[in-house]
């Protein structure tokens, strides 16, 4: 009888699945509509649909503090986060000028 050892088993590792969570599309649409955003990306941070990262480029952020910008984004997606079904782990909020590197960012 052959002996078994972990080194005798050869498996290639599978990459983690990163499926786009349906709420990401809903949140992107709401942020784009409510803030008139030029660019919005909502990503599933860990592939579990629970933790999300948001990046928004919008002219409406001009002259606003980081806290005010954050409030604007949260207000746009409040229905998706109010019951803690989805946690926003990170938000990047820039004006078009900041995103192009013409101005220092508020992050």
Residue 57's Cβ-count burial label (10 Å; 0-12, 13-18, 19+) is: buried
Domains of the chain plus CATH, in order, are: 23-97 (3.30.300.90)
* CB atoms inside a 10 Å sphere around CB 6: 5
**Mean pLDDT for the chain?**
81
pLDDT at 10 over 70: no
pLDDT confidence bin for 82, thresholds 50/70/90? confident
Q: Please name the residue that has the structure tokens 């960012």.
A: 105
Query: d(Cα 46, Cα 60) in Å, to the nearest integer?
Result: 29
- By C-alpha distance, which of 107, 79, 77 is closest to 91? 107
Sheet strands (E) in 4-96:
39-44, 51-57, 87-94
28-73, pLDDT tens digit by residue?
999 999 999 999 999 988 887 788 899 999 999 999 999 999 999 9
Segment 81-86 shows an average pLDDT of 74
């Amino acid at each position: 009888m052959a002996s078994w050892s972990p080194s005798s088993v050869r498996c290639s590792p599978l990459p983690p699945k990163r499926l786009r969570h349906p709420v990401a599309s809903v949140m992107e649409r709401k942020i784009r509509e409510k803030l008139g955003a030029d660019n919005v990306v909502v990503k599933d941070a860990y592939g579990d649909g629970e933790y999300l990262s948001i990046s928004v480029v919008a002219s409406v952020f001009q002259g606003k503090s980081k806290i005010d910008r954050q409030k604007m984004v949260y207000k746009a997606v409040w229905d998706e986060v109010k019951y803690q079904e989805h946690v926003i782990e990170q938000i990047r909020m820039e004006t078009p000028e900041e995103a192009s590197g013409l101005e220092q960012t508020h992050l």
